[in-house]
Amino acid sequence: MGKLGISLYPERSTFEKDKAYLDLAHKYGFKRVFTSLLQITEDKDKVLADFKQVVDYANSLDMEVMVDINPRLFEQLGISYDDLSFFNELGADGVRLDLGFTGAEEAQMTRNPYRLKIEINMSSGTNYVDNIMSYSPNTANLLGSHNFYPHRYTGLGYEHFVYCSEKFRNYNLNTMAFVNSQAATFGPWPTQDGLCTLEEHRELALETQVKHLLLTGLIDDITIANAYASEAELQVMAESFNALYPTLQVDVADDITEDERICLFDNLHSYRGDASEYLLRSTMTRVYYKEKSFPAHNTRDMKRGDVLIDNVGYEQYKGETQIALQSMKNDGRVNVVGRISDEELFLLQFLKPWSSFRLIERQ
């Protein structure tokens, strides 16, 4: 089962605020904490003392803490890759290598006596992970996580994201990606245009980002990159992540009937397997509600994302629920009862024949 995570940047906040955020995230079942040691510039001992306070509190909530580091930081702190005792004493559960070594060192690090996890960067698109795997690492301690990007327009494109993620999937390694809170105000660096792995996520609602990552089938864990997400965001993110089936938000038509609402929102929909290029069909509503009348109304021409119910004119198809996959003429036998919300319209392409999903009314 995948895990949800938050990010903390103790040097840019206070322990009281971090503690309150950890309590809130714990309330909604979050299990991971990402934090970064890349920014140590002031008194090292003070920074590390502040870090340890946050790490210890996270550990007390049974949350696992990954610390972002790079080879330069190893030198700055006087640490060697073959002695990770520093991170064990810090209370961390693992280290994320922002920049890697040659492959042999990473493999050796996965066999550290403290069983610390070694998390490597998934976003480069090189053969880095293949190289590490050639040195026989302990894969139980080897994880992957994508980068996040504070600069607008620098986040990953979707095709590159898939290419990189599949390399890790091929080795059955745990994968993680970052999402962007719209309520959060800071990250590890002064530049702050939001923080996300995929550029297309930057302006999306948190739950939509989560649904997308889950529907790709490529990501196990999802972490909010910036701080602090709102309680409402944490709640809907947990609901989306833990949902038994994906959900799509629907903007309903003004004249939708009560029977049509029941078809849309009181049923688990199944994408019929003999798939059409024009319609995603959920046929069981016509069986469940065959005694209902479904009179014709709002029979305008259809466009991609429209939510449809066949009306009485379609006889044995009356009451069937559908989603338009492209523009079509309406001869009067199909009621347009709503639309997939503009923000979630792109998720349609990730629903597969025979998969199940729910529709929910956008509030």
Task: Report domain extents, the chain.
Answer: 4-242, 248-361
Query: What pTM did the predictor assign?
Result: 0.95
Tens-level pLDDT at each residue, the chain (363 residues): 899 999 999 888 999 999 999 999 999 999 999 998 876 666 677 778 888 999 999 999 999 999 998 777 888 788 888 899 999 999 999 999 987 888 999 999 999 999 999 999 999 999 999 999 999 999 999 999 999 999 999 999 999 999 999 999 999 999 999 999 999 999 988 888 999 999 999 999 999 999 999 999 999 999 999 999 999 999 999 999 999 999 999 999 999 999 999 999 999 999 999 999 999 999 999 999 999 999 999 999 999 999 999 999 999 999 999 999 999 999 999 999 999 999 999 999 999 999 999 999 998
Check residue 77 and give its pLDDT.
81
Check residue 100 and give its pLDDT.
81
Check residue 39 and give its pLDDT.
66
DSSP assignment string, 33-99: EEEE-TT--S-HHHHHHHHHHHHHHHHHTT-EEEEEE-HHHHHHHT-BTTB-HHHHHHT-SEEEESS
Closest alpha carbon to 359 in 207, 270, 247: 247
Look at residue 155 and give its three-state secondary structure: coil
CATH number of 248-361: 2.40.100.10
Check residue 42 and give its pLDDT.
63
Closest alpha carbon to 168 in 227, 124, 107, 104: 124
Look at residue 349 and give its three-state secondary structure: helix
Check residue 41 and give its pLDDT.
65
| C-beta atoms surrounding 68 within 10 Å | 20
Check residue 74 and give its pLDDT.
80
Handedness of CA 30, 36, 42, 48 (dihedral sign): positive
Q: In what order do the strands lie in the sheet with 279-282?
A: 269-270, 356-361, 247-252, 334-340, 306-310, 321-324, 279-282
Check residue 82 and give its pLDDT.
85
CATH level 2 (architecture), domain 4-242:
Alpha-Beta Barrel (3.20)
